[in-house]
Structure 1
Amino acid sequence: MQFGLTNAPASFQNLVSDIFADFLDVFVVVYLDDIMVFSSSEEEHVKHVASVLQRLRDNNLFAKASKCVFHASSVEYLGYVVSSDGLKMDSLKTQQILNWPQPKNIKALQSFLGFANFYCRFIKHYSKKITSLTSLLKKDCPFIFNEEALSQFQSLKEDFTTAPILSHFNPSLPTVVETDASDYALGAILSQVNDSGKHPIAFDSCKLLPAELNYEIHDKELLGIVWALKRWRAFLLSLSNSFEVLTDHSSLQYFMSSKVLTHCQARWAEFLSEFHFTITYRPGRLATLTDALSRQDDVYPERGVDFIRKNAQNLHQVIKQDGIDKIQKEVWQDKDYKEILKQLARGESISDYSLEPQAKLLLFKDRVVIPSNEELQLNILQKRHDKPLAGHPGQEKTLKVIKRDFYWAGMNQFIKDYVSSCQKCSRNKKIHHKKFGLLKPLQIPSGPWNFLLMDFITQLPLSKNFASILVVVDRFSKMAIFIPTYGTITALYLAQILISYVFSNHGLPVSIVSDKGSVFVSSFWTQLFQKLKISRDLSTVFHPETDGQTERVNHILEQYLWMYVSYHQDDWHTWLPLAEFAYNNAEHSSTKQSPFFTIY
């Protein structure tokens, strides 16, 4: 062995994997010197065992009879009891956990948690149940095994005696992933449905990272789905059919069809595209297990006290005691919150809502809910915007400052309207944007074909050597002319087209509006317009609304061609006369009559 005995386990694993390569995952599982043979019938099992023993003999490997178990319906394997029903914990191992003495130092606690972590897949909300224990492992935290840590230690040991049997994963069965997110944690359950109902395959949960704590609830719920699918990716990609994801956040049903995503959501969407699944909304009151995984009270046990103290201080800074009493009184009478308060008072759990224990104020995402009372809302806004300690901040800053502690329906628009109408802000704040340009509206046309609009539709498939369409629109009558042109358009070629199709039939115009294409700003084009005494009006850069009429006609023409061109799109030039007639014969929305009627 290279590098001596250090690589002995890896070398031996490579050896047995090579020996049983054609048996692995067919009827054999091998981990070092532990070989498990599984079969669906006794007849098959006899053949499989014989094949394994013969393969050992062929390679001069021997099995010790006293350590072998033959023809068993359940077997202890790598710390688990494996049977046809599923997977459960080894009773000898769980007994060791039950008899484990209280840890006296960090090393003893690490030893206990390391042993318990092996079976964490069986324990619902495991990561939440050990928060007080793991906090003792922090570098700067003194090791004080207080009542809370002792309670978690004893509770965890009891959970090992009541852990469920986890069923074997079957790729052909309907599969369900249930996810949930709270302010500080994620929880998920992988289950499968058979004739006897839904059975758990695995439980999992985790605490959110500091950066993830700042996510909006929509992104936290979405993160829960992404995290769960990463955890069980191997299972879910092996399914023969699509699986179902259950969430209590209804808007996630439409996430995969969303067109506007943040950078983070786009990365998640790319990952989720690997899987074939549907997201189904399930009300939070029905998600008892996943809620338990993600909403344990001890995730941040000290947070509640800190919030009450901090929030009470903030309230008294902004609102006097009589104002707090008024909030409490009116929020209990507010029809929008009355039912929520009743449920919370009965001890029921409602997503994002809670009850502040001292003042009995309603909290939404740990922010005080302000009832529909404009006087109270205005009082808070004035303190957080007008006072010297606030400093008249802008709309976004004012909104964020108030959102730290308070919530009411429609607060975003209310705050923006208040700040935008603040007289002191308007008088004293400097303007940081450049001066607005002068508004220069187009001249009102005095008659037909005096004022024209002109634009190109380019980069079209070749149609009898034509690659573009010149669209000319009369601003007075709204009549349009569609002229096929070649791909390379010079100023001379464009002048010939206008003379042949427009000027010869309708006379010289007073003005032509176009964009700043190279043809329209060429010296030849400029001199031609000067000789013909035609005003040349160029649209603003990156502002197609200047020539909005032509842009709209372009869109209508493109829609028409999509309807009638051939599969190869090489005959569009033949449809232009018909498209021109159809457009000019239809009633225009602004004139309430067709261009033909206006002209003729």
Structure 2
Amino acid sequence: MDQEKLATILDWPLPSSLKQLHRFLGFCNFYRRFIPKFSELARPLTELTKEGNFNSDNIQQLGPRASFLALKRCFSAAPLLHHFDFELSRTVHVDSSGYAVAAVLSQPDQAGKLHPVSFYSQKLTDRERGWAIFDLELLAIVEAFEQWRAWLMGTTEPVQVYSNHSNLCHFTTAKNLTPKQARWASFLDGFNFVILHIAGKANPADAPSRRPDLLGEGPLIPTQAIARRMVSVNDVGGIIPSKSFNLYDLHFQRPTQELLDYFIKNYDKVSQDERKALTERDKILWFQDWIFVPSTLRTRIIQLFHDAPTVGHPGIARTLALVTRSFSWPGIRKDIIRFRRVRLDHGGGGFTQ
């Protein structure tokens, strides 16, 4: 088997946080039925997920390291991995994390169970990180079809492409495309495929797109990229009334020092009780791998993601998924439910917390 097709898995670094460990084990769990004695093989790692067991020393012990390497090796051979067969249907799962895209090409066995054939992941450039979620998810599809062009072209049966971004399902019939989207549509027009929606938790491409080494140096959202990450969901200029919050009175094409200074200043107002459960890095408070949002900013964060034109006023579950990609705070779901209820009561108007 060509090792390049497995590099996404074989190059996966040893988890350095509990969240990273959960993500890796969750990915392996997609394929546990194809991994003999999976529970026994994964036990040294699953033990570390129990409360208080994970730390930087324990993950480096022989047992967890051997378990991690053994699980990765399972992806390079049968019964899990299959060689590509031109006679079988093709299924592609794609995802974008905001800093990388990933895809998994699979084919069914005789029982109809999907086996991976090839994996792909690619770190986003600084320019791409500023794109809207819709474009990033579409980029993942384009990259997958470019990577596996020889295997996906000329199929009589449509290639099933799964994404957790439901708006992509209508891309092939969309009329109003940006120049970039039009170029991609022209390229994809040479393939026979259909885009289908899948929940993020059921998407095997989700974890590979969030491999910690693809992020690069520093925390999950580097300080210098906070402003870009907050507004990269879409082109939000003008959708937030300027009188409501001067954080959004700027042009958001790139983070400015004024915006970063304002953001840091607000985080300094978080109470000491809240700080006890948090860590501070680069003058920003973090809850594990999420940026912690103090009460003064929570409504605005929800409003930013909920009102994004490219996501079309999502429901509670989708808004929660968008916000929690980067941010966290106690009672986040209740706040989103309250936000939605007030919006409905006021016919879509905003409110001040």
Gaps of 5+ in 2: 17-55, 227-259, 272-292, 307-313, 341-347
Contact 1:189 1:204 in 2 (8 A): yes
Q: Are 1:168 and 2:83 counterparts?
A: yes
Instruction: Report the Cα distance in structure 1 between the residues aligned to 2:267 and 2:71, rounded to whole angstroms.
Output: 46
Contact 2:301 2:323 in 1 (8 A): no
1:171 to partner: Cα distance: 2.3
Contact 1:354 1:362 in 2 (8 A): no
Alpha carbons of structure 1 residues 126 and 168: separation in structure 2 relative to 1, 3 Å: closer
Contact 2:9 2:72 in 1 (8 A): no
1:258 to partner: Cα distance: 1.1
Q: Which one-letter code corresponds to 2:263 in the other structure? A: N
Instruction: Report the Cα distance in structure 1 between the residues aligned to 2:95 and 2:295, rounded to whole angstroms.
Output: 35
Q: Which structure exhibits the higher relative contact order, with contacts defined as CA atoms closer than 8 Å and separated by 6 or more residues?
A: 2
Alpha carbons of structure 1 residues 173 and 360: separation in structure 2 relative to 1, 3 Å: same
Aligned partner (choices 1, 10, 13) of residue 129 of structure 1: 13
Instruction: Report the Cα distance in structure 1 between the residues aligned to 2:178 and 2:298, rounded to whole angstroms.
Output: 38
Match of 1:290 in 2: 205
Contact 1:250 1:281 in 2 (8 A): yes
Q: How does 1:11-410 map to 2 (within 5 A)?
A: 80=1, 119-122=3-6, 124-126=8-10, 129=13, 157-163=69-75, 164-165=77-78, 166-197=81-112, 198-287=114-203, 289-300=204-215, 302-304=218-220, 306-307=222-223, 314=263, 316-317=265-266, 324-325=294-295, 350-354=321-325, 356=327, 372=339
Aligned length: 233
Instruction: Report the Cα distance in structure 2 between the residues aligned to 1:216 and 1:303, rounded to whole angstroms.
Output: 21
Q: Percent identity?
A: 28
State the Cα deviation string for residues 290-343 of structure 1 (Å, max 9, x = none).
1111123443251347449977961535995589445569999xxx99x769xx
Contact 2:106 2:118 in 1 (8 A): yes
Instruction: Report the Cα distance in structure 2 between the residues aligned to 1:351 and 1:246, rounded to whole angstroms.
Output: 18
1:257 to partner: Cα distance: 1.1
Instruction: Report the Cα distance in structure 2 between the residues aligned to 1:123 and 1:155, rounded to whole angstroms.
Output: 18
Q: Which one-letter code corresponds to 1:314 in the other structure? A: F
Match of 1:512 in 2: none
Instruction: Report the Cα distance in structure 2 between the residues aligned to 1:241 and 1:330, rounded to whole angstroms.
Output: 46
RMSD: 4.9
Instruction: Report the Cα distance in structure 1 between the residues aligned to 2:168 and 2:71, rounded to whole angstroms.
Output: 33
Q: Which one-letter code corresponds to 1:161 in the other structure? A: R
State the Cα deviation string for residues 499-547 of structure 1 (Å, max 9, x = none).
xxxxxxxxxxxxxxxxxxxxxxxxxxxxxxxxxxxxxxxxxxxxxxxxx
1:194 to partner: Cα distance: 3.9
Alpha carbons of structure 1 residues 241 and 124: separation in structure 2 relative to 1, 3 Å: same
Q: What is the SS of the residue equivalent to 2:145?
A: helix
1:160 to partner: Cα distance: 4.7
Contact 1:355 1:361 in 2 (8 A): no
Instruction: Report the Cα distance in structure 2 between the residues aligned to 1:119 and 1:130, rounded to whole angstroms.
Output: 19
1:208 to partner: Cα distance: 1.1
Q: Which one-letter code corresponds to 2:3 in the other structure? A: Y
Instruction: Report the Cα distance in structure 1 between the residues aligned to 2:210 and 2:139, rounded to whole angstroms.
Output: 16
Q: What is the SS of the residue equivalent to 1:299?
A: helix
Alpha carbons of structure 1 residues 351 and 120: separation in structure 2 relative to 1, 3 Å: farther
Contact 2:137 2:165 in 1 (8 A): yes
Alpha carbons of structure 1 residues 354 and 281: separation in structure 2 relative to 1, 3 Å: closer
Contact 1:188 1:290 in 2 (8 A): yes
Instruction: Report the Cα distance in structure 1 between the residues aligned to 2:139 and 2:129, rounded to whole angstroms.
Output: 11
Alpha carbons of structure 1 residues 318 and 176: separation in structure 2 relative to 1, 3 Å: closer
Contact 2:101 2:124 in 1 (8 A): yes
Instruction: Report the Cα distance in structure 1 between the residues aligned to 2:137 and 2:12, rounded to whole angstroms.
Output: 18
TM-score, with length taken from structure 2: 0.52
Instruction: Report the Cα distance in structure 2 between the residues aligned to 1:321 and 1:129, rounded to whole angstroms.
Output: 34
Contact 1:127 1:207 in 2 (8 A): no
State the Cα deviation string for residues 139-181 of structure 1 (Å, max 9, x = none).
xxxxxxx99xx89997874455322433232223221111111
